[in-house]
């Protein structure tokens, strides 16, 4: 807890310094705002995180372009936050954007790409769009298993979520097979 508090104070000082010296619209100030937003999200303070992430994303999109790695990272973080809040409609296009940009930059098997695939599957699952969620969960699971091995916690979480989807669709045998 003390480390988070110290880091938060430092990030706030960095943001204030950039805003004072470079102006609030400078890309460094926008990155600092997004970094602070990510920290607040990590701490569970979504109310404080969201405006900072939105501000960071808007500025980075304008200054660096929507396909810049920094803008994609913030789009993904905002999508995660919105998904956690249950705002699937707002989260989905941001997650798709991050996925497309990361896939273009890193290829289909990169860990960040697989993370976006898994997050998008979760959004569809939450929204009840099981037909869209299934293939995405399977893609993430196959990629993670290949990259990390079958017993990695990330793989096991993927297996669990895919089994939950199978259960939600009435495929009890599929869910049981996965969980075994």
Q: Is the pLDDT of residue 83 over 80?
A: yes
Determine if residue 107 is left, alpha or beta; phi over 0 gives left, psi from -120 to 50 gives alpha, anything else beta.
left
Environment class of 68 (CB within 10 Å of its CB; exposed 0-12, middle 13-18, buried 19+) = middle
Report how far residue 161's alpha carbon sits from residue 26's, in angstroms, rounded to the nearest whole number.
40
H/E element holding 1? none
Report how far residue 45's alpha carbon sits from residue 33's, in angstroms, rounded to the nearest whole number.
15
**pTM, entire model:** 0.90
Report how far residue 108's alpha carbon sits from residue 105's, in angstroms, rounded to the nearest whole number.
9
Q: Is the pLDDT of residue 6 over 90?
A: no
Q: What is the pLDDT of residues 105-160, one digit of tens each?
A: 999 999 999 999 999 999 999 999 999 999 999 999 999 999 999 999 999 999 99
Contact (CB, 8 A) for 53 and 77: yes
Question: Which is more confident, 178 or 1?
Answer: 178
Query: What average pLDDT does the structure give for the chain?
Result: 94
Looking up tokens 């998904």 gives 83
Environment class of 111 (CB within 10 Å of its CB; exposed 0-12, middle 13-18, buried 19+) = middle
Looking up tokens 């805003």 gives 19
């Amino acid at each position: 807890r003390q480390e988070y508090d110290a880091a938060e104070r430092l990030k706030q000082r960095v943001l204030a310094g950039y805003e004072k010296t470079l102006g609030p619209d400078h890309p460094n100030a926008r990155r600092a705002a997004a970094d602070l937003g990510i920290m607040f999200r990590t701490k569970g303070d979504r109310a404080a995180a969201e405006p900072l992430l939105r501000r960071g994303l808007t500025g980075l999109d304008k200054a660096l372009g929507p396909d810049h790695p920094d803008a994609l990272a913030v789009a993904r973080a905002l999508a995660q936050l919105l998904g956690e809040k249950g705002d699937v409609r707002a989260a989905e296009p941001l997650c798709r954007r991050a996925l497309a940009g990361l896939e273009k930059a890193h290829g289909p098997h990169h860990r960040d790409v697989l993370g976006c695939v898994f997050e998008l599957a979760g959004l569809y699952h939450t929204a009840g769009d099981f037909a869209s969620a299934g293939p995405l969960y399977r893609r993430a699971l196959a990629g993670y298993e290949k990259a990390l091995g079958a017993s990695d916690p990330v793989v096991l979480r993927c297996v669990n979520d895919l089994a939950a989807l199978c259960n939600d669709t009435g495929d009890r045998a599929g869910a049981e097979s996965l969980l075994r």
